[in-house]
Structure 1
Amino acid sequence: MTPEMYPSSHPVLDDVKKLLNLPVSLAVDVADDGTLLTNTNIGGTSQLWEVRPDGARVQLTDFSSTATGRYLPGSRKLLISSDTDGNERHQLYLLDPESAVLPVSSLPALIDDPEHIYQLMALDAESLVYSTNRRNEVDFDLIRRRHFDGEEEILWAGGGNFAQVSASPDGRYLVSNAMSLQPASNTLRLLDVVAKQWQVITAEDIPGQYGEVSWLADSSGFFSSQDADTDFRSVSFYRIADSRWHSFLAEPEVNVTIRLNEAGNRALIQRLKDGQSTLSLSDLHTGDNLPELGPEVPVSLPEAGYAVAEISANGQQLAVTFSSPTFPDEVFSAALAEHLGEGPISLTQRTFAEGREIAKKLPSTELVRIPTRDGEQIPAFVTRGDASAVLNIHGGPEAASLYQWSPRNAALMLSGHTVVVPNVRGSSGYGRRWMSMDDVELRLDSVEDLVDIHRWLVGSGINAGRVALYGGSYGGYMVLAGMTFHPEYWAAGVDIVGMSSLVTFMENTSPYRRAYREREYGSVEQHRQVLQDASPLPRIQKLAKPLMVIHGANDPRVPLSEAEQVAAAVRANGSECEMLVYSDEGHGLSRRKNQLDAYPRAVEFLRRTLDAVLS
């Protein structure tokens, strides 16, 4: 008998929908009085909520699309960012929750210009700094805008795109963090506000990523994490007096970052190893020489998992987002003493999703290292199930799968599959060397990693004919590449907002993103043949197994045309292709109603196609 898809009332599918319906909460800021600002998707899209010191939860926004924001330092006023239906043309809004009727469903934009992008870069009590591509739609300028009268000043109009701007406490300096033309790299520039002069303070011709900038209280210098000098991310200190970088904190095979509070006297230290986090706090001491950390006090997390944290401006409040493969994202907090004791610091859970008990039923996930044909090892998270397997490949590619909650992975686990979540070469989190091993001409080496994973799975008892690929964005490309370059290994694939041709992707992605992506993939002008040779579409006749394609109509990164052309080509070959397009989504599915439609259908599709091998 040919296996059928789950009926709509099947217990497994019912549990999958319960998992996908679980709300998650993320801490985005914390005020000096302990009020927490969170992103929570209880209503179907991620909106801003407050969790107040007495435990009351108050919804602040009810925009039509995802809203996020930050407090103005020393205030409960909010600077909010939101786009329209996933188009990523973010606009900025100011909200005073103490005078507004909550939740607000709309606000006047600070600048009424929905055709361009406005990204918050820096914020203080008097002004904000934003970047915008309104001048030519490609390059982003930096603009400082005063809150009280809206007066604007152009800080930078020299082109490029920005990740962050940070102002020194005395207002004398600004540091901008801009993308450079080296792969997975950026450039730090220092602006002397008085002299009106910019100075490049990192080597633009040497690959390196620089992270968030945190200034000392006396404005004598700042910290930034970086991997230009070390394979894994370490912390360096830039001292204004001698215009030099000084190594501050580095550990083997660990990514280390430091964030200071606004007062610049307390350090929040995060370490990331194999996708798992540890957090600690330390009081910072400054003197005539380099700053020094006091004794580190660990933060007690609920279990092994992934955590990110926010510290209040006065350093007295800590907010933590924590999750693990069986623990959906929740927000925790702690009030901190003026002087840290010996610790550890205990956290109090502040958000509680109804129905989260279902996540506890999931099987455990283990970290493994999978050997490759050339002597490397692929880090991967594996959850054991039956003799079928699904590989879920992350996007980026300069990103990573972490030891954290994923409702899509959980849904695949509930369906009974063995689930493999790999960090193939090109992934971040495992050193710059590993992240650079798929650049431009090396693209197909990462696709070969999928074959190595298949070989390992078969050696672990998985049926060789019952392995499927699943992935989003670059992971979607990997699905299509795996099924066209190595079609004999895969029984089915689910491509979510993936690229079917690297040539047409580079030609049609939004203009402001093109130069940024050329660093990783190569340019059409100089590397057309390389891009063509690594593209699934020219060899789509090889794709003969069932394919599901999911895409958002407003995707500014990977245009809908990438999905349309691959679906048309697969169907023209006479192969099965189910295509789902959502008119109110961009690069991925952010609305729960669409997730509840698409992802259970993907679960049904994979269960049917992988079970069909047995018939």
Structure 2
Amino acid sequence: MTSYDATDLTTLLELESWVAHDVGADGAVLAGNDASGTMQLVRIGPDGSRTRLTALAGRCLGRWVPGTRSVVIMHDSGGDENWQLSLLDLDGPLPATDEDLSPLVHDARFVHTLEDVTEEHLVYSTNRRDGASWDVVVRDWRTGAEHVVAQDAGYVAQSRVSPDGRRCALVALTTQPAAAQLSVVGDESPGPITPADEPAEHSSPHWLSDDQLIFVSNRDRDFRAIVRAKVDGSDWQTLLADDAHDLHLSAAPDGKTLLVTTNVDGSRRFALHEPDGTLRRAIDLGRDYVSTSVAWAHDGSRVVLGLSACVDPGSIATVDTVSGEVSWMIDGVEQIPPALRQRLVEASCHRVPTSDGEQVPCFVYSPENPTGATVLHIHGGPEAQAERFWNPVIQGLALAGFTVLQPNVRGSDGYGKRWVSLDDVDLRLDSVEDLRALHDWLPTLDLDPDRSALWGGSYGGYMVLAGLATQPDLWAAGVDIVGISSLVTFLENTSDYRRIYREREYGSLEHDRDTLIRCSPITYLDQLRAPLFAIHGANDPRVPLSEAEQIHAALTDRGVPCELRVYDDEGHGLAKRANRLDAYPAAIGFLLDTTDPISGR
């Protein structure tokens, strides 16, 4: 058995992360921090002082209520994602517990998602009407009256109130793969700005005036661009575009400053622009960062960025929107012990050729003392992207001697609309075949293909199981976190409000059942023989626990080593540090044993 000292990983897992939620009129930042073990709210004053606002049983996020001394808090129970909205009185006991909150929108059977907060209105989306359909509701703070501005709005992704408070710009997923529709809803609203059947994604809407929006779109192009249009969809203009990279947008509340980020191989370049798209100035952050959150001062004078990098667990920077000057409110690197900090690794970027002529973008984390063993760390989604930000598991694997490959297999976001669509429905196993191409590429890095393993969560967990099952000769072991073992039972048992939007990616139960069966790992169960370590939350509303239980039972019956760890207070992944400290060192120890040339297979 391989000897493994988990002390370094424990230190990494205990490092704090920060995000920025909002900026108050007094300049105070409402931040999220996980020092307690789950993400809680902290007030960072203009003088840098920190006041812990919440000590809830589970994770939470929030927004200031302008003109008051209160915060809207969105929180769930045990990771079930049935979000509830509560009000925190800052003049009450702090840090507040669940009992100190005042219910605002509560019904534990349903989801209530915070969309926007203004001085006059609270905007939220909810599935409380029937559990499957989504409505968008605007509540008047003064009277408490509620107005449903959009009924059967689809799966709401974003909503933003107009300056006059009478309408909302609404982004909702459509049944087209990797597509989202933009509408204006509310009083005298023109309705959809973009067609529901358009194979394009429109997102991040911001109001420039009562009749004009700026947003992100990939209509008629491969990569996302910044566009402007009237609320009736007329006068469509492309302000900023990059033919090789996606652009992302956040606008100041007054619309006078645009923060534009360019997605470059899993990292971001940051710049400030004028409302017409003219470059004001680039922002120099000193290293490659990914933005985890963006919050604006109400007067647009500064923008606060939550940031993460390969070797930064989470920092908060504030940027002056006139001068571009950067100051650091939180430096996440400072908390890392200096001796450990020197051993952390940055990712290098590569393109891995496939047998059908494609190239898979891949990040490689090369350890200081490589053992020749490899872990492919596969992101969830699937319409998501592996990015070059802080991941204590990847750093822990590297410290244990593993070379870590983090691929963006076909179907991943961030590399254009064509790439993200290459795994839709009957193309699903083409994505799994990219794992074979990565395996074939390992000798070019002087790595031992016989000592390679798979690690992934959610859709990445599906890829782990599919890789082990359809490529049994390639992989020594796998770690599956909240993964899908059968696309059929997953779609049958996932939350009602999610099913139709997952079917757009995987195929429908009614029309594509044969494809779903063909692409399910459990279909190839008789081939799967590599040891498996599975992790799942009991309250997972996305991928039900039954997905892990059925693969665990089937492998156990066949005598294939399979350990399943279930966490009763978790949902889709491990949100609590105590559970991560239990699961991840054990999983890395499992991989060390199963990829060891003596004790492994």
Fold shared per TM-score above 0.5:
yes
Does 1:210 pair with 2:202?
yes
Is structure 2 residue 371 aligned with structure 1 residue 386? yes
Which is worse superposed, 520-529 or 159-168?
159-168
Distance 1:375 1:54 in 2: 56
Q: Please say if residues 64 and 71 of structure 2, whose CA atoms lie closer than 8 Å, have aligned partners that are also in contact.
A: yes
Distance 1:278 1:566 in 2: 42
Instruction: Say which of 175, 178, 188 aligns to 2:172.
Output: 178
Kept in 1, the 8 Å contact 2:455–2:480? The answer is: yes
Question: What is the deviation of 1:296?
Answer: 2.0
Segment of structure 1 superposing worse, 397-406 or 255-264? 255-264
Candidates 77, 86, 106, aligned match of 2:79: 86
- Percent identity over the alignment is 40
- Which secondary structure state, in structure 2, belongs to the residue aligned with residue 213 of structure 1? strand
1:480-509 CA-to-partner distances (Å, cap 9, x unmatched) read: 000010110000000000000000000000
Cross-structure match for 2:14:
21
By how many angstroms is 1:108 displaced? Answer: 2.5
- Equivalent residue, structure 2, for 1:47: 40
Deviations 1:239-279 (A, max 9, x none): 24773422111112111122221122121111111111111
Larger deviation: 271-280 or 151-160? 151-160
Unaligned runs of 5+ in 1: 285-291
Structure 1 residue 468, shift from structure 2 partner: 0.1
Does 2:236 match 1:234?
no
Q: Which runs of 5+ in 2 are unaligned?
A: none
Which of 50, 53, 57 is 2:50 aligned to? 57
Judging changes above 3 Å, is the alpha-carbon distance between structure 1 residues 354 and 459 closer, same or farther for their aligned structure 2 residues?
Answer: closer
CA distance in 1, matches of 2:361, 2:272: 29
What CA deviation, in whole Å up to 9, does each residue of 1:175-199 have, x standing for no partner?
A: 2111111001111112351x3x452
Does residue 154 in structure 1 map to residue 148 in structure 2? Answer: yes
Matches within 5 A, 1:288-299: 292-299=276-283
Q: Alpha-carbon deviations, 1:211-265, whole Å to 9, x = none?
A: 111111x323011101122211101111247734221111121111222211221
Whether the aligned pair in 1 keeps the contact of 2:191 and 2:232 (CA below 8 Å) is no
User: How far apart, in 1, do the equivalents of 2:198 and 2:75 lie?
Assistant: 35
CA 1:363/1:178 → structure 2, altered by over 3 Å: closer, same or farther? closer
The letter for the 2-side match of 1:468 is A
| Structure 2 residue 395 is the aligned partner of structure 1 residue 395 | no
- 1:294 offset after TM fit, Å? 4.3
* Contact 1:31 1:317 (C-alpha < 8 Å) held by counterparts: no
1:534 to 519, 544, 569: 519
SS of equivalent to 2:103: coil
* Counterpart Cα distance in 1 of 2:179 and 2:9: 39
User: Is the alpha carbon distance of 1:51 and 1:159 closer, same or farther for their aligned partners in structure 2, counting shifts above 3 Å?
Assistant: closer
Alignment counterpart, residue 335 of structure 2, candidates 354, 372, 379: 354
Provide the aligned length of Structure 1 versus Structure 2.
592
Amino acid in structure 1 at the alignment position of 2:106: D
SS in 1 for 2:122: strand
Give the partner amino acid of 1:282.
H
CA distance in 2, matches of 1:581, 1:536: 20
429, 433, 454: which one aligns with 1:469? 454
SS of 2:271 mapped into structure 1: strand
Task: Pick the aligned partner of 1:145 from 136, 139, 143.
Answer: 139
Residue matched to 1:274: 265
Name the TM-score, length of structure 1 as normaliser. Answer: 0.93
Letter matched to residue 560 of structure 2: S
Instruction: List per-residue Cα deviations over 1:142-189 (Å, max 9, x = no partner).
Output: 111112332111212235220112222123432211111100111111
- What's the counterpart of residue 423 of structure 1? 408
Question: 2: CA distance between counterparts of 1:530 and 1:242?
Answer: 38
How many angstroms apart in 2 are the aligned matches of 1:100 and 1:392?
44
- Of 459-468 and 598-607, more deviation after overlay is shown by 459-468
Normalising by structure 2, we get a TM-score of 0.95
Q: Which amino acid in structure 2 is aligned with residue 260 of structure 1?
A: A
Partner Cα distance (2:329, 2:567) in 1: 35
> 1:121 matched to which residue of 2?
115
| 1:443 correspondence with 2:428 | yes
Deviates more, 1:302-311 or 1:502-511: 302-311
Alignment partner of 1:225 out of 183, 206, 216: 216
Deviates more, 1:47-56 or 1:66-75: 66-75
* Inter-partner Cα distance in structure 1 for 2:553 and 2:21: 42
Letter in 1 for 2:577: R
**How far is the alpha carbon of 1:581 from its aligned partner?**
0.3
When residues 388 and 316 of structure 1 are mapped into structure 2, their CA distance, relative to the original with a 3 A threshold, is: same
Deviation (angstroms), 1:460: 2.4
1:305 — aligned with what?
Answer: 289
SS state of the match for residue 335, structure 2?
coil
CA 1:242–1:548: 2 relative to 1, 3 Å:
closer
Partner of 1:557: 542
Q: Which amino acid is 2:216 matched to?
A: S
Q: Distance in 1 between matches of 2:176 and 2:341?
A: 41
Partner Cα distance (2:10, 2:423) in 1: 36
> Aligned partners of 1:241, 1:570: CA distance in 2, in Å?
56
1:374 corresponds, among 352, 356, 368, to 356
SS in 1 for 2:581: helix
Distance 2:417 2:307 in 1: 26
- Give 1:382 shift: 0.2
Q: How many angstroms apart in 2 are the aligned matches of 1:28 and 1:302?
A: 23
Check conservation: 2:413, 2:420, Cα contact below 8 A: yes
Residues 73, 328 of structure 1: alpha-carbon distance in 2 compared, 3 angstrom cutoff: same
1:106-117 alignment to 2 at 5 Å?
106=98, 107-117=101-111
Q: Secondary structure at the match of 2:326?
A: coil
Cα deviation for residue 589 of structure 1 reads: 0.1
Deviation of 1:295 after TM superposition, in Å, equals 3.8
* 1:589 aligned onto 2:582: no
State the distance in 2 between where 1:188 and 1:559 align.
31
Q: 2:537–2:574: 8 Å Cα contact kept in structure 1?
A: yes
